[in-house]
Protein backbone atom coordinates (compact mmCIF):
# COMPACT_ATOMS: atom_id res chain seq x y z
CA UNK A 1 0.00 0.00 0.00
CA UNK A 2 2.60 2.46 -1.16
CA UNK A 3 1.49 6.02 -0.66
CA UNK A 4 -1.22 4.93 1.78
CA UNK A 5 -1.37 4.71 5.53
CA UNK A 6 -3.84 2.88 7.75
CA UNK A 7 -6.14 5.07 9.84
CA UNK A 8 -4.62 3.65 13.01
CA UNK A 9 -4.11 7.14 14.41
CA UNK A 10 -7.82 7.02 15.23
CA UNK A 11 -8.33 5.70 18.72
CA UNK A 12 -11.31 4.72 20.85
CA UNK A 13 -12.72 7.83 22.47
CA UNK A 14 -12.36 6.28 25.93
CA UNK A 15 -8.72 5.22 25.47
CA UNK A 16 -6.13 6.26 28.01
CA UNK A 17 -4.00 9.20 26.90
CA UNK A 18 -0.53 9.63 28.39
CA UNK A 19 1.66 12.69 28.51
CA UNK A 20 5.43 12.67 28.78
CA UNK A 21 7.01 10.33 31.31
CA UNK A 22 4.52 9.48 34.06
CA UNK A 23 5.50 8.92 37.65
CA UNK A 24 4.82 5.48 39.03
CA UNK A 25 5.84 3.52 42.10
CA UNK A 26 9.38 3.00 43.35
CA UNK A 27 11.96 0.81 41.64
CA UNK A 28 10.87 -2.84 41.63
CA UNK A 29 12.59 -5.32 43.86
CA UNK A 30 15.71 -7.18 42.67
CA UNK A 31 16.79 -9.64 41.50
CA UNK A 32 14.78 -10.46 38.39
CA UNK A 33 15.18 -12.79 35.46
CA UNK A 34 16.90 -11.09 32.54
CA UNK A 35 13.73 -10.88 30.47
CA UNK A 36 11.96 -9.08 33.32
CA UNK A 37 14.30 -6.12 32.91
CA UNK A 38 13.09 -5.63 29.36
CA UNK A 39 9.30 -5.70 29.71
CA UNK A 40 7.37 -2.43 29.40
CA UNK A 41 5.02 -3.37 32.23
CA UNK A 42 8.03 -3.71 34.57
CA UNK A 43 9.76 -0.56 33.39
CA UNK A 44 6.60 1.51 33.95
CA UNK A 45 6.93 0.94 37.71
CA UNK A 46 10.14 2.96 37.83
CA UNK A 47 9.51 6.64 38.46
CA UNK A 48 12.92 8.09 37.60
CA UNK A 49 13.97 8.06 33.98
CA UNK A 50 17.66 7.52 34.82
CA UNK A 51 16.73 4.35 36.72
CA UNK A 52 14.54 3.22 33.82
CA UNK A 53 17.49 3.60 31.46
CA UNK A 54 19.90 1.70 33.69
CA UNK A 55 17.29 -0.98 34.38
CA UNK A 56 16.75 -1.64 30.66
CA UNK A 57 20.47 -1.62 29.84
CA UNK A 58 21.30 -3.89 32.80
CA UNK A 59 18.91 -6.54 31.56
CA UNK A 60 20.14 -6.11 28.00
CA UNK A 61 23.81 -6.54 28.93
CA UNK A 62 23.03 -9.54 31.13
CA UNK A 63 21.34 -11.19 28.18
CA UNK A 64 24.19 -10.64 25.74
CA UNK A 65 25.97 -13.85 26.73
CA UNK A 66 23.32 -15.74 24.75
CA UNK A 67 23.41 -13.39 21.76
CA UNK A 68 25.65 -12.97 18.70
CA UNK A 69 27.15 -9.93 20.45
CA UNK A 70 28.77 -11.75 23.33
CA UNK A 71 32.10 -9.99 22.73
CA UNK A 72 30.52 -6.62 23.50
CA UNK A 73 31.11 -4.96 26.85
CA UNK A 74 30.98 -1.40 28.05
CA UNK A 75 34.36 -2.06 29.66
CA UNK A 76 36.04 -2.65 26.30
CA UNK A 77 34.61 0.25 24.33
CA UNK A 78 38.10 1.35 23.31
CA UNK A 79 39.17 -2.08 22.05
CA UNK A 80 38.42 -4.51 19.26
CA UNK A 81 39.41 -8.12 18.68
CA UNK A 82 42.87 -8.68 17.22
CA UNK A 83 42.81 -9.52 13.51
CA UNK A 84 45.55 -10.70 11.11
CA UNK A 85 47.49 -7.67 9.93
CA UNK A 86 47.18 -5.74 13.20
CA UNK A 87 50.42 -4.65 14.84
CA UNK A 88 51.12 -6.99 17.79
CA UNK A 89 52.49 -3.97 19.66
CA UNK A 90 48.90 -2.66 19.85
CA UNK A 91 47.69 -5.68 21.84
CA UNK A 92 46.43 -4.73 25.28
CA UNK A 93 47.99 -7.36 27.51
CA UNK A 94 46.01 -6.28 30.57
CA UNK A 95 42.81 -7.11 28.70
CA UNK A 96 44.39 -10.41 27.60
CA UNK A 97 45.16 -11.25 31.23
CA UNK A 98 41.51 -10.69 32.16
CA UNK A 99 39.85 -12.36 29.17
CA UNK A 100 42.43 -14.72 27.66
CA UNK A 101 41.61 -13.03 24.32
CA UNK A 102 43.65 -10.67 22.21
CA UNK A 103 42.28 -7.12 21.90
CA UNK A 104 43.94 -4.13 20.27
CA UNK A 105 43.30 -0.55 21.23
CA UNK A 106 41.12 1.40 18.86
CA UNK A 107 42.01 4.80 17.55
CA UNK A 108 39.62 7.63 18.44
CA UNK A 109 38.26 7.79 14.87
CA UNK A 110 37.49 4.08 15.05
CA UNK A 111 35.68 4.31 18.34
CA UNK A 112 33.27 7.21 18.23
CA UNK A 113 29.82 7.23 16.74
CA UNK A 114 27.91 10.48 16.95
CA UNK A 115 24.31 9.50 17.63
CA UNK A 116 21.14 11.59 17.64
CA UNK A 117 17.91 10.43 19.22
CA UNK A 118 15.07 11.98 17.17
CA UNK A 119 11.67 11.63 18.86
CA UNK A 120 8.19 12.25 17.48
CA UNK A 121 6.21 13.99 20.25
CA UNK A 122 3.05 14.74 18.24
CA UNK A 123 -0.42 14.10 19.61
CA UNK A 124 -0.79 10.61 18.16
CA UNK A 125 2.16 9.39 20.25
CA UNK A 126 0.04 9.84 23.41
CA UNK A 127 -2.08 6.82 22.56
CA UNK A 128 -2.41 3.64 24.57
CA UNK A 129 -5.38 1.29 24.81
CA UNK A 130 -4.58 -1.56 27.19
CA UNK A 131 -0.79 -1.39 27.53
CA UNK A 132 0.72 0.26 30.63
CA UNK A 133 2.65 2.88 28.65
CA UNK A 134 1.95 5.13 25.68
CA UNK A 135 3.88 5.10 22.42
CA UNK A 136 5.77 8.18 23.57
CA UNK A 137 6.59 6.63 26.96
CA UNK A 138 7.90 3.55 25.15
CA UNK A 139 10.03 5.69 22.79
CA UNK A 140 11.37 7.81 25.66
CA UNK A 141 12.32 4.74 27.71
CA UNK A 142 14.20 3.32 24.73
CA UNK A 143 15.87 6.64 23.98
CA UNK A 144 16.97 6.99 27.61
CA UNK A 145 18.51 3.52 27.56
CA UNK A 146 20.29 4.20 24.27
CA UNK A 147 21.67 7.48 25.63
CA UNK A 148 22.96 5.72 28.73
CA UNK A 149 24.52 2.99 26.59
CA UNK A 150 26.13 5.40 24.10
CA UNK A 151 27.67 7.73 26.66
CA UNK A 152 29.06 4.80 28.64
CA UNK A 153 30.59 3.68 25.35
CA UNK A 154 32.10 7.19 25.11
CA UNK A 155 30.02 7.90 22.01
CA UNK A 156 28.60 11.43 21.67
CA UNK A 157 24.81 11.41 21.99
CA UNK A 158 22.41 14.23 21.13
CA UNK A 159 18.65 14.66 21.13
CA UNK A 160 16.01 16.28 18.91
CA UNK A 161 12.26 16.36 19.63
CA UNK A 162 9.65 17.32 17.06
CA UNK A 163 5.96 17.52 16.25
CA UNK A 164 5.22 19.73 13.23
CA UNK A 165 8.82 20.98 13.55
CA UNK A 166 11.86 20.45 15.74
CA UNK A 167 10.86 21.95 19.08
CA UNK A 168 13.93 21.22 21.21
CA UNK A 169 17.41 19.83 20.77
CA UNK A 170 20.70 19.12 22.51
CA UNK A 171 24.04 18.88 20.67
CA UNK A 172 25.83 15.55 20.85
CA UNK A 173 28.39 15.16 23.63
CA UNK A 174 30.07 12.14 25.20
CA UNK A 175 30.74 13.39 28.73
CA UNK A 176 28.84 11.72 31.55
CA UNK A 177 26.91 14.89 32.38
CA UNK A 178 25.23 14.57 28.97
CA UNK A 179 23.09 11.72 30.28
CA UNK A 180 21.51 13.99 32.89
CA UNK A 181 20.90 16.72 30.32
CA UNK A 182 19.27 14.37 27.81
CA UNK A 183 17.13 12.69 30.46
CA UNK A 184 16.08 16.04 31.90
CA UNK A 185 14.83 17.16 28.49
CA UNK A 186 13.14 13.81 27.85
CA UNK A 187 11.33 13.97 31.19
CA UNK A 188 9.70 17.22 30.11
CA UNK A 189 8.51 15.98 26.70
CA UNK A 190 4.73 16.01 26.38
CA UNK A 191 2.81 14.82 23.30
CA UNK A 192 0.82 17.54 21.58
CA UNK A 193 0.00 19.07 18.23
CA UNK A 194 -0.03 17.82 14.69
CA UNK A 195 2.90 16.01 13.15
CA UNK A 196 5.01 16.86 10.13
CA UNK A 197 7.61 14.12 10.13
CA UNK A 198 9.07 14.95 6.72
CA UNK A 199 9.56 18.66 7.45
CA UNK A 200 11.09 17.87 10.82
CA UNK A 201 13.55 15.40 9.27
CA UNK A 202 14.60 18.03 6.74
CA UNK A 203 15.32 20.30 9.71
CA UNK A 204 17.27 17.51 11.40
CA UNK A 205 19.40 17.01 8.27
CA UNK A 206 20.18 20.73 8.14
CA UNK A 207 21.21 20.74 11.82
CA UNK A 208 23.70 17.87 11.54
CA UNK A 209 27.26 19.02 10.96
CA UNK A 210 29.03 15.65 10.94
CA UNK A 211 28.26 12.14 9.86
CA UNK A 212 25.90 10.74 12.47
CA UNK A 213 23.73 7.81 13.40
CA UNK A 214 20.15 9.11 13.43
CA UNK A 215 17.79 7.04 15.57
CA UNK A 216 14.22 8.05 14.71
CA UNK A 217 11.29 7.08 16.98
CA UNK A 218 7.86 7.63 15.41
CA UNK A 219 4.53 5.96 14.71
CA UNK A 220 4.90 7.17 11.06
CA UNK A 221 1.20 8.00 10.85
CA UNK A 222 1.52 10.37 7.92
CA UNK A 223 1.89 10.21 4.14
CA UNK A 224 4.91 7.90 3.54
CA UNK A 225 6.30 9.55 0.41
CA UNK A 226 7.50 12.85 1.96
CA UNK A 227 8.93 10.90 4.90
CA UNK A 228 10.90 8.67 2.56
CA UNK A 229 12.23 11.65 0.63
CA UNK A 230 13.42 13.18 3.90
CA UNK A 231 15.05 9.90 4.96
CA UNK A 232 16.85 9.74 1.63
CA UNK A 233 18.13 13.26 2.24
CA UNK A 234 19.68 12.02 5.48
CA UNK A 235 21.22 9.02 3.69
CA UNK A 236 22.59 11.17 0.88
CA UNK A 237 24.13 13.40 3.53
CA UNK A 238 26.23 10.45 4.69
CA UNK A 239 24.18 9.69 7.80
CA UNK A 240 23.11 6.25 8.93
CA UNK A 241 19.52 5.85 10.05
CA UNK A 242 17.70 3.43 12.33
CA UNK A 243 13.94 3.84 12.04
CA UNK A 244 12.16 2.61 15.17
CA UNK A 245 8.53 2.32 14.08
CA UNK A 246 6.61 2.47 17.38
CA UNK A 247 2.92 1.52 17.36
CA UNK A 248 0.57 0.74 20.19
CA UNK A 249 -0.19 -2.95 20.58
CA UNK A 250 -3.86 -2.24 19.85
CA UNK A 251 -2.95 -0.42 16.64
CA UNK A 252 -1.30 -3.62 15.45
CA UNK A 253 -3.80 -6.23 16.69
CA UNK A 254 -7.10 -4.26 16.69
CA UNK A 255 -8.68 -5.92 19.76
CA UNK A 256 -11.96 -3.97 19.55
CA UNK A 257 -15.47 -5.38 19.10
CA UNK A 258 -18.92 -4.07 18.21
CA UNK A 259 -19.66 -0.50 17.20
CA UNK A 260 -16.76 1.70 18.29
CA UNK A 261 -16.26 5.44 17.99
CA UNK A 262 -12.70 6.49 17.18
CA UNK A 263 -11.23 9.97 17.34
CA UNK A 264 -8.09 11.38 15.79
CA UNK A 265 -5.95 12.95 18.57
CA UNK A 266 -4.43 15.49 16.16
CA UNK A 267 -7.42 16.61 14.07
CA UNK A 268 -10.24 15.63 16.50
CA UNK A 269 -12.11 13.97 13.61
CA UNK A 270 -14.44 11.17 14.69
CA UNK A 271 -15.32 7.91 13.02
CA UNK A 272 -17.83 5.21 14.04
CA UNK A 273 -17.22 1.72 12.66
CA UNK A 274 -18.25 -1.90 13.15
CA UNK A 275 -14.98 -3.17 14.63
CA UNK A 276 -15.75 -6.85 14.01
CA UNK A 277 -16.39 -6.23 10.33
CA UNK A 278 -13.37 -3.96 9.95
CA UNK A 279 -10.80 -6.07 11.85
CA UNK A 280 -9.47 -8.29 9.05
CA UNK A 281 -9.12 -5.45 6.58
CA UNK A 282 -7.52 -3.17 9.15
CA UNK A 283 -4.94 -5.75 10.31
CA UNK A 284 -4.08 -6.56 6.69
CA UNK A 285 -3.61 -2.84 5.97
CA UNK A 286 -1.28 -2.35 8.96
CA UNK A 287 0.74 -5.46 8.03
CA UNK A 288 1.08 -4.15 4.48
CA UNK A 289 2.00 -0.69 5.75
CA UNK A 290 4.84 -2.09 7.84
CA UNK A 291 5.97 -4.52 5.14
CA UNK A 292 6.08 -1.69 2.61
CA UNK A 293 8.29 0.37 4.93
CA UNK A 294 10.51 -2.65 5.54
CA UNK A 295 11.06 -3.21 1.82
CA UNK A 296 11.67 0.46 1.09
CA UNK A 297 14.10 0.85 4.00
CA UNK A 298 16.06 -2.20 2.88
CA UNK A 299 16.51 -0.67 -0.58
CA UNK A 300 17.41 2.73 0.86
CA UNK A 301 19.97 1.42 3.35
CA UNK A 302 17.86 2.38 6.37
CA UNK A 303 17.49 -0.05 9.27
CA UNK A 304 13.79 -0.58 9.99
CA UNK A 305 12.72 -1.90 13.40
CA UNK A 306 8.96 -2.51 13.80
CA UNK A 307 7.95 -2.28 17.46
CA UNK A 308 4.77 -2.22 19.46
CA UNK A 309 4.29 -1.26 23.09
CA UNK A 310 3.91 -4.86 24.27
CA UNK A 311 7.39 -5.83 23.01
CA UNK A 312 10.52 -6.12 25.13
CA UNK A 313 13.03 -3.33 24.65
CA UNK A 314 15.97 -5.50 23.63
CA UNK A 315 14.93 -5.61 19.94
CA UNK A 316 15.78 -1.94 19.62
CA UNK A 317 18.97 -2.14 21.68
CA UNK A 318 20.27 -5.07 19.64
CA UNK A 319 19.68 -3.07 16.45
CA UNK A 320 21.72 -0.18 17.85
CA UNK A 321 24.51 -2.56 18.82
CA UNK A 322 24.51 -4.18 15.38
CA UNK A 323 24.83 -0.79 13.70
CA UNK A 324 27.61 0.18 16.11
CA UNK A 325 29.67 -2.88 15.26
CA UNK A 326 28.84 -3.12 11.58
CA UNK A 327 28.88 0.37 10.08
CA UNK A 328 31.46 2.53 11.80
CA 61 to CA 41: how far, in whole Å?
A: 19
SS3 helix, strand, coil % of the chain, rounded to 5? 45, 20, 35
Q: Taking the domains of the chain in order of start, what are their residue ranges?
A: 19-67+112-327, 81-108
| Cα–Cα separations (whole angstroms), residue 15 to 11, 18, 24, 248 | 7, 10, 19, 12
Burial of 18 (0-12, 13-18, 19+ CB in 10 A): buried
pLDDT in the model for residue 264: 79
Query: Taking all residues of the chain, what is their mean pLDDT, rounded to a whole number?
Result: 79
Mean pLDDT across 129-133 = 91
Which helix or strand (DSSP H or E) is residue 289 part of? helix 275-300
pTM of the model: 0.74
pLDDT digits (tens, 9 = 90+) for 291-316: 999 999 999 999 998 999 998 887 77
Q: What is the DSSP letter of 91?
A: B
Phi-psi region for residue 170, left (φ > 0), alpha (ψ -120 to 50) or beta? beta
CA separation for the pair 59, 36 (Å, rounded): 8
pLDDT tens digits, residue range 202-248?
A: 999 999 989 999 999 999 999 999 999 999 999 999 999 999 999 99
Task: Give the model confidence (pLDDT) of 80-101 as tens digits.
Answer: 676 776 777 677 777 677 677 7
CATH number assigned to the domain with residue range 19-67+112-327, chosen from the 4 options 3.40.50.620, 3.20.140.10, 3.40.50.410, 3.40.50.720: 3.40.50.410
Amino acid sequence: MTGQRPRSRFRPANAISGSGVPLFSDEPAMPRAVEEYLKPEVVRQIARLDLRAQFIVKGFLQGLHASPYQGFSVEFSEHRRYAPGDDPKDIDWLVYAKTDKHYVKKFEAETNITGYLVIDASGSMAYTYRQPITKLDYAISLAAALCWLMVHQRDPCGLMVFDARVTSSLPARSRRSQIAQVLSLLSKVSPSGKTDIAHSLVQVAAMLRHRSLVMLFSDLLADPEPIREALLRLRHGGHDVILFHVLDEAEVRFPFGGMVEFDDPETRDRLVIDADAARAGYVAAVDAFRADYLGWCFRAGVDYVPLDTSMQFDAALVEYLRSRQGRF
